[in-house]
Amino acid sequence: MSALWDFSLDEDCQAAVHVPPRSALFSLLPGGIGTPQQESLLSLLVRTSRAHAVSPRRLIGKVFGKAMPAIGKLDYSTFYRSLAGTVNGMGLYAGLFVSAMEDLTGRPSLDCLTLLPWKEVFPHNGQGLLARHPRWCPVCLYRQRLLGEATSFPLVWAIEPYRACPEHACLLDDHCPHCSKTQPYLPRYPDLGICSHCRMPLSGIRTPIALPEFQSWVCKAVTDMVVHQSDAGLSICFDRFRRFVEEQVSTVAEGNRAAFCKALGFHDRGLNGWLNKGERPSITHLLSLCYGLNVMPAEVFGASWSQATALRLLPSRLKDRNACLRVPPEHRQKIQVHLIALLDANDALPVSEIAANLGLTRSYLRYWFPELYARLTKRFKVVAKARSREHRDRQSSRVVEVVGQIRANKEYPSRRRVNRLLHKERMSLAQPHLFQAYLRALKQP
């Protein structure tokens, strides 16, 4: 008996069906690519959490942590509150989250949502690059709400020198207008437009103010950096920057570095670090130089340079607000060796003290040596807990002694009598472990 239908005769059944690869998370389109509204990676991450109706912190702890164990170690509140800000930057966390997000969403080239394209130009510690707290233009958020759009934070808002919204002529906010608190970089609730503390909207209306010309220029220049950072024709590296400076000095100031610096309002030997020692410029240095030469940052890294006609003196100095530590890589290795040695030392010190002894900060150690930091912290906690237990045991024994002393004086060891003696030694029966010791002592004959 023949089959009812021979499938090999049907062309449709033989045609290979292309099933696109599936991603673990929704693959949302990043907002405003190639425009001043180009979204930041943290913003996309929070929007993705919202699409899955979960908290961003839960998404990172459970999904990102599982996909990439290095991210799993970051599941603690200080990371979510402040350290996560560097996910938008050009350091370790930016690299980790870009590759995790690309893997989980199947969307490539997400490094343009961070400042990773600039990692070969700016100092490794990202000096003065990122704002200390999340910032936003309340009017932009208000407009997003009116249009029914999901809240999206452009990358430029995260960049420290960008301090105003040129479109709405207002300064960026970094405190909730209702409760005056700063916001965590990764909130529990998946909406960056809602205050993490009082749950009120961060959007609002502002009366436009006259922004100083220099501030408007800085905003334009930072936007130029973000919009062009993925351009194929650019070579964004320190060498290109150095050669640009050399060429400008020779064409504009006939090779006279001091005259060049003076015309721009720089320190006399301001160029020596870049040209002689290979020191990288901070973002404020780059912007100051670009302002003086009247060029946009992306032009510095372009294929050809137009000659500056006249140098402009800086109207005010852009400050590196975050006076971050500059630690050369070889010194960092010595710090690592020192930290490893401390793991076997007799005395366990708190990490804050270790950092202070090295002239560093706790957050520096946590950023560069996360594993050692965790081990040192754990070690100190275990030792501190044991010390505290010993101390409490000593105090409890003292209560038993005091009860014995009162009895020896042929008096009843009432709470008042015992407390009177304990107060002299800065103890009290109000402390639960001492009260329990007192009850035990009373039962003793």
DSSP strand E in 133-277: where? 164-165, 170-171
Which member of 13, 24, 29, 198 binds Zn ion (CB under 5 A)? 198
**Shortest separation between residue 50's beta carbon and Zn ion, angstroms:** 19
CB atoms near residue 15 (< 10 Å): 8
Structure tokens at 281: 């410029």
Which member of 101, 112, 139, 158 binds Zn ion (CB under 5 A)? 139
- In the complex with Zn ion, which residue's Cβ is closer, 179 or 343? 179
**Residue 168 makes contact with Zn ion by CB under 5 A:** yes
For the chain, how are helix, strand and coil distributed in percent, rounded to 5?
A: 50, 5, 45
Considering only residues 172 to 191 of the shown chain, the ones binding Zn ion according to CB under 5 A are 176, 178-179
**Shortest separation between residue 193's beta carbon and Zn ion, angstroms:** 12
- In the complex with Zn ion, which residue's Cβ is closer, 157 or 241? 157
**Residue 137 makes contact with Zn ion by CB under 5 A:** yes
**Shortest separation between residue 51's beta carbon and Zn ion, angstroms:** 24
- In the complex with Zn ion, which residue's Cβ is closer, 178 or 262? 178
Are the beta carbons of 260 and 271 closer than 8 angstroms? Answer: yes
Which member of 42, 113, 116, 140 binds Zn ion (CB under 5 A)? 140
Are the beta carbons of 350 and 362 closer than 8 angstroms? Answer: no
Spell out the residues 6+ positions from residue 394 whose beta carbon is closer than 8 angstroms to its own: none
List b or e across 147-168, with b for residues whose CB sees 16 or more CB atoms inside 10 angstroms: eeebbbbbbbbbbbbbbbbbeb
**Residue 375 makes contact with Zn ion by CB under 5 A:** no
Which member of 130, 195, 226, 402 binds Zn ion (CB under 5 A)? 195
- In the complex with Zn ion, which residue's Cβ is closer, 137 or 399? 137
- In the complex with Zn ion, which residue's Cβ is closer, 41 or 176? 176
- In the complex with Zn ion, which residue's Cβ is closer, 205 or 345? 205
Calpha distance 51→268 (Å, rounded): 54
Binding segment for Zn ion (CB under 5 A), chosen from 113-121, 151-159, 196-204, 257-265, is: 196-204
**Residue 116 makes contact with Zn ion by CB under 5 A:** no
**Residue 135 makes contact with Zn ion by CB under 5 A:** no
**C-beta pairs of 100-103 under 8 Å, 24+ apart in sequence:** 100/64, 100/67, 100/68, 100/71, 101/41, 101/44, 101/45, 101/48, 103/24, 103/67, 103/68
Residue 300 half-sphere exposure, CB side, CA atoms within 13 Å?
A: 31
Total residues interacting with Zn ion, rule: CB under 5 A = 12
Q: Which amino acid is at 133?
A: H
Binding segment for Zn ion (CB under 5 A), chosen from 40-48, 61-69, 163-171, 417-425, is: 163-171
Binding site for Zn ion (CB under 5 A): 137, 139-140, 165, 167-168, 176, 178-179, 195, 197-198
